Amino acid sequence: MPKDDRPRRSDSDRRLRQAARFARVLRVLELIQGRGRSTIKEIALELECSERTIFRDLAVLEMAGVPYYHDREDQCLRVRPGFHFPSVNLSDDELVGQATAATLTSAPGLDVTSGAGPTTRKLQVSSREKAATLLAEVERVTSVFDLKLADHSRHHETIKTIQWALIKRQRLTGSYATPYEPKPKRLELHPYRLCLVKQSWYLIARPEGSDQPQTYRVPRFKTLRPLDAPSVVPDNFNLKVYFGDAWGVYRGDQSYVVEVRFSKEAADLVTETTWHHTQKIDRHKDGSVTLGFQVDGLNEVVHWVLGWSGRARVVRPPELRGMLLEHLRTALDLNGNDPVIGDN
């Protein structure tokens, strides 16, 4: 017998290929059972594979006992009525929650992974008609608009890289650029957490050679890849402790008691939102309201106060009032009587 010199696939590679094929076969079934009218050609286009591959997947479904057939009238593939894979017995509230999650994770800025949509679609095709209808109705009547998040459309792979590095406890290396440094810098990082704060996704990670983690804004990574080296993450790391009483993501060195008094006209509007986890509300007889906070650093909270200009007065600390006045003076200088750039 001649010796077979062909390279053999590793067990892990073989398992990955089998898992990928199994996922594709389930996706074929999902498309057939969906509310649309899927043909073999359309399924092949959707899954970015050949029609021959789809025929092989259909043969697998047939061997598994899935009663699919070709509907001659509608010229599409269908599964005979009454067939369902065993499904999870979810309550109506749980189904509504799942469909809502699918809508949320499809919104720009939150659509950084495949989200909850694929799970919802699998539940739709494997559930009884009542549950499938409820899932579809919730997605139809629920929408997410205008979250004012940073543009993450070009950073899906970066976020996925971070997630898998966190799961596998691997180090990361890449190039990171900030507006505060003249050129990007190379980093080797021990990733601790990925989190969405305010308008952007952030990576909390410790640079190799440092004993303290830092905060990195995900869109600022120019390149990022995992290293074949383990990350070292303290078991007792706590994200809430790390951020402390920061107003947003950057924690200052000094803690301040902040009090801002809002006019009667702004009182109801400003108290509709919990702006900070230390927030306290003091209502006054004249209809105005004072909001109090314990904040680590003032560089972020001053921009929030600026947004209420004309309706808010800083009670304390004096440092915050001084920063606010400096920003307002700068704004007046830029928008005073001087001609606008481009005017003749």
Q: Check whether residue 163 and residue 216 sit in a common domain.
A: yes
Q: Check whether residue 131 and residue 202 sit in a common domain.
A: no
Strand ranges inside the chain, DSSP E: 68-71, 76-79, 170-176, 185-197, 200-207, 214-217, 221-230, 255-262, 280-283, 289-296, 312-316
Q: What is the CATH number of the domain that holds 212?
A: 2.30.30
Cβ-in-10-Å burial (0-12, 13-18, 19+) of 107 comes to: middle
Indicate whether 7 belongs to any domain: no
Domain region containing 311: 255-334
Per-residue model confidence (pLDDT) at position 3 = 55
Task: Give how many domains the chain has, as a whole number.
Answer: 4
Indicate whether 134 belongs to any domain: yes
pTM above 0.85, yes or no: no
Is 228:170 a contact under the CB 8 Å cutoff?
yes
Indicate whether 249 belongs to any domain: no
Per-residue model confidence (pLDDT) at position 214 = 96
Indicate whether 38 belongs to any domain: yes
Q: What is the CATH number of the domain that holds 47?
A: 1.10.10.10
Domain final residue pick, 49, 79, 109: 79
- What are the per-10-residue average pLDDT scores of the chain (344 residues)? 57 70 82 75 87 90 83 82 66 83 80 74 71 82 80 86 93 94 94 92 95 94 95 93 94 96 97 96 97 97 96 97 95 77 54
Indicate whether 148 belongs to any domain: no
Indicate whether 4 belongs to any domain: no
Per-residue model confidence (pLDDT) at position 188 = 97
Per-residue model confidence (pLDDT) at position 116 = 74
Q: What per-residue string of b and e applies to 230-259 under the rule 16 or more CB within 10 Å gives b?
A: ebebeeeeeeeebbebbbbbebbeeebebb
